[in-house]
Structure 1
């Protein structure tokens, strides 16, 4: 029943929870596959199964279809220099970013602009080393973005996307703390060398030397202290208890990807961070395991090595669309 004196336009509108970034990205990937004109019947069936598996999947799919028509107007929406590569069909990663940015998620467009306009960025597959104003070192991993904001009160690094390594130095300008901020909280350096990685599940901190303190955004959350050799993942409400950090956590700083009895789908997901486009693993081989050290400078060579190590084939539909499939006997 309508409240007395309240017009239809004034009635409260039920709030719709935002789509998770993970589900939105999956919807974009399936959409790009279907729109490529090269999808196999098995891939089309897999896309349909993904949509039918969960109501949120279907909602994300409809949202992608809705905003995909807006790409023709992207030149008016995206920052200068970004629209052109988005509209070129081979640039699938750029197309994914554009679709995600246009999907009307609360804050999504603002976040996209922050990532594009960040002080420092690294390209896909690039590692970028920077000197900080206090003599410290900042190393950005692949496809990362960060801001540097040193004030009279603190030395602040803001991780917008991706992963970074910080080597701190004493503050000769005073006793300003060095803080790394993510959307989930703040990490305070205690004279240290550490890694921060941002993904859909939260923020992950790995301490290589000395210690850090993790403070999630929620004021009621417990502040955790991590010592050298420890790792913790946290979100805005909670920081997990420290665990032993994997010995290969900093391998990327030497341009290496280390695998120790790693599932193939997990390995491919990690490798995909260092190459443009889509890298998919068929379910039939996803649980295969591998170990080894792989150089990230040429991911095509890494994929070729997989065919020597495992019973798989690497199928290239294009440079930007690769599938790891069972070996054809």
Structure 2
């Protein structure tokens, strides 16, 4: 089953089970299931995993249950995770990417939230909206595993020894060389932007070449290849100050970026997707950003609900 479809099925299921879905969102969920037999199959698998909760929650080890229950997750998400951790059948579904690994992450940020944390060695960590990662400081390395989203890291010297500082994604590992850098993970690849000093990228494939990225550069990599570094985007860390900067950006790309900071669905009709805009936008009030689009471009913003928004061509 494609990862994208599995993830969409989980998200629709959790929204319905949360009790927060509007009538329009329930209709949209039903339409999504009806659109493709693969969608319906994924939905049934999510239901199967969730339905195992009542029979298996009592088997969960306390050390696993407590962190999950302390997080502000929806009940349906906890049901699925508990079943995943205890039922062999659920493990099989997990291995086939039914449930995203970020649901189990140790550290998380909500949609629209930025979190700043101090790591055990004094390093600074900033999570962007809707991000998740695990931290594992061991005898031989200091490891962050980014499961979802984007982080900024400011490393510190290792006073406990000479352990390398590593950020891992599903695509490979980034070794910090005394540095300040940003890592963003997406479905197809990961991106590193170096703000100070340098990093080394090692894709997962053993045969892949290691790539060095210097301050002021960025590079993308997947599991088999790290691309040549290019100049970093201007003010690539603007999100750490709650800003989204656009420079002659297509409207559909702008909306996709803005959608990372607001719950629900944000869509752009094809006839206006290619419009371009520039400016600086505050991420703490995405409704105001959407309202400003109607003054900058010939578009309207249609709210079917608070969580289902479409940017359409302006109607005179």
- Which of 128, 139, 150 aligns to 2:137? It is 150
How far residue 248 of structure 1 moved from its aligned partner, in angstroms, is 3.2
Q: Does the CA contact (< 8 Å) of 1:262 and 1:291 recur in 2?
A: yes
Q: Does the CA contact (< 8 Å) of 2:6 and 2:98 recur in 1?
A: no
**Correspondences of 1:118-137 after superposition (within 5 Å):** 118-137=105-124
Corresponding residue of 1:289: 276
Question: Residues of 2 paired with 1:139 and 1:73: CA distance?
Answer: 36
1:116 matched to 2:103: yes
How far residue 73 of structure 1 moved from its aligned partner, in angstroms, is 3.1
Q: Does the CA contact (< 8 Å) of 2:42 and 2:98 recur in 1?
A: no
Corresponding residue of 1:264: 251
Gaps of 5+ in 1: 1-17, 52-57, 88-93
- Which of 240, 244, 248 aligns to 1:253? It is 240
Normalised by the length of structure 1, the TM-score is 0.77
- Which of 193, 204, 207 aligns to 1:217? It is 204
- Are the structure 2 counterparts of residues 82 and 277 from structure 1 closer, same or farther at C-alpha, using a change threshold of 3 Å? farther
CA radius of gyration, larger in: 1
How far residue 84 of structure 1 moved from its aligned partner, in angstroms, is 8.1
How far residue 175 of structure 1 moved from its aligned partner, in angstroms, is 1.3
Question: Residues of 2 paired with 1:289 and 1:26: CA distance?
Answer: 28
Corresponding residue of 1:186: 173
1:64 matched to 2:42: yes
Normalised by the length of structure 2, the TM-score is 0.80
How far residue 176 of structure 1 moved from its aligned partner, in angstroms, is 1.1
- Are the structure 2 counterparts of residues 324 and 188 from structure 1 closer, same or farther at C-alpha, using a change threshold of 3 Å? same
- Are the structure 2 counterparts of residues 104 and 227 from structure 1 closer, same or farther at C-alpha, using a change threshold of 3 Å? same
Corresponding residue of 2:61: none
Question: Residues of 2 paired with 1:118 and 1:176: CA distance?
Answer: 23
Q: Does the CA contact (< 8 Å) of 1:28 and 1:61 recur in 2?
A: no
**Correspondences of 1:12-161 after superposition (within 5 Å):** 18-19=1-2, 21-25=3-7, 38=24, 58-67=36-45, 70=48, 73=51, 76=54, 80=69, 85=74, 104=93, 106-109=95-98, 111-112=100-101, 115-161=102-148
Deviations 1:287-328 (A, max 9, x none): 111100000011111111111111111111111111111112
- Are the structure 2 counterparts of residues 282 and 220 from structure 1 closer, same or farther at C-alpha, using a change threshold of 3 Å? same
How far residue 65 of structure 1 moved from its aligned partner, in angstroms, is 4.6
1:303 matched to 2:285: no
Question: Residues of 2 paired with 1:122 and 1:209: CA distance?
Answer: 25
Count of residue pairs brought into register by the alignment: 289
> What's the C-alpha RMSD, in Å, of the aligned pairs?
3.4
Deviations 1:130-156 (A, max 9, x none): 111111101100011111111121111
Gaps of 5+ in 2: 58-67, 85-89
Q: Does the CA contact (< 8 Å) of 1:27 and 1:60 recur in 2?
A: no
Corresponding residue of 1:14: none
Question: Residues of 2 paired with 1:301 and 1:121: CA distance?
Answer: 26
Question: Residues of 2 paired with 1:264 and 1:74: CA distance?
Answer: 43
Deviations 1:85-119 (A, max 9, x none): 366xxxxxx7xx99xx999463425643xx23322
- Are the structure 2 counterparts of residues 174 and 119 from structure 1 closer, same or farther at C-alpha, using a change threshold of 3 Å? same
How far residue 196 of structure 1 moved from its aligned partner, in angstroms, is 0.4
Corresponding residue of 1:168: 155
